[in-house]
Amino acid sequence: MSLPQSSREQVSREQVLALFERPLFDLLFEAQQVHRANFDANEVQVSTLLSIKTGACPEDCKYCPQSARYNTGLEVERLMEMENVLARAQEAKANGSSRFCMGAAWRNPKERDMPYLVQMVQEVKSLGLETCMTLGMLDDSQAGRLADAGLDYYNHNLDTSPEFYGDIITTRTYADRLDTLENVRNSGMKVCSGGIVGLGESAEDRAGLLQALANLPRQPESVPINMLVKVKGTPMENQADLDDFDFIRTIAVARILMPQSHVRLSAGREKMNDQMQAMCFMAGANSIFYGCKLLTTPNPDESSDMQLFKRLGIRPSGVSQVSQKPDEMTEIELHEQLAAQAEPVLYYEA
């Protein structure tokens, strides 16, 4: 079944479901063709995501250990001091990240915090990194101020399909999320928006999530696909596991529907073996979060990521391809050594 060629044309639910129902290898073959037509097939964009304010969120997202409504044993932390943020950003750059993302567990930022956030963006950009923030809902004025400060990306996930959304979150609506994405886009910032699979949703809900993302007036530049990380104390702690192949299918369909977006293999990687991650890269994933944690949930450490990259013959964006002579240290090996020396950093699940 042919799909619309323009991102401004609407894709139907039936078209998305038809992709999900294709034989897996046919789907992967098409996704890889689409990927190679739009990106360097052996390059992965690497982002680091730091929690700048942890816990005590008033929202009731059933998957999230940061919600104040659930007892997960999470230690609440206030907004991080600037010097600590910049130290973590410098570490991230040294370890091969090209983008530094900052997340705060808020429903929305308060006016008193905006000048500090603006300064934070400016200081991190001065280090030569792309910048991203995820702070909850933004109005048009807040989005404009962050854009004027130089913020490159804003993350705000749709999480799941419109139909299943109310089963997961009741404290903000799907329309609220779409309004924030519209404010971000109108400000001139790039959009990072994706979702979570493994929440107990149906295959049609996974199709609905990707349909909603693909049918945005302009498709997101970055699409994080998260596998649910089950955290004790949240309503999702006993959720049944999603089949690995269903996750891989989701990556492949996202690649086909959003050919020019970076599709990020995000939360849940710590539970994926190397073979599954390799299949996700084959399916069109070309971005990862890098570091020991995504806020409170585990993530593969930097050295294991670089070892996997080396085994697969892929490299972080911005790292030149060099000859693999046994008596020379390649840039990949240098990144691996730097990663092994770095102290653990706190990352945010998005």
User: Cα–Cα distance between 287 and 101 in angstroms, integer?
Assistant: 13
Helix (H, G, I), strand (E, B) or coil at 295: coil
Torsion of the alpha carbons at 222, 81, 107 and 301, rounded to the nearest 10: 40
Q: Mention every residue, 6+ apart, whose C-beta is less than 8 A from residue 198.
A: 227, 228, 239, 241, 242, 247, 268
User: Cα–Cα distance between 168 and 220 in angstroms, integer?
Assistant: 23
User: Cα–Cα distance between 329 and 326 in angstroms, integer?
Assistant: 8
HSE-CB for 281 with a 13 A CA cutoff: 25
Closest CA to 270 of 246, 317, 304, 238: 304
Residue 27: alpha-carbon gap to chain centroid: 22
For the annotated catalytic residues, the residue numbers are: 57, 61, 64, 101, 132, 192, 264
What totals of helices (H) and strands (E) does the chain contain, helices first? 11, 12
Tokens of 350: 């998005």
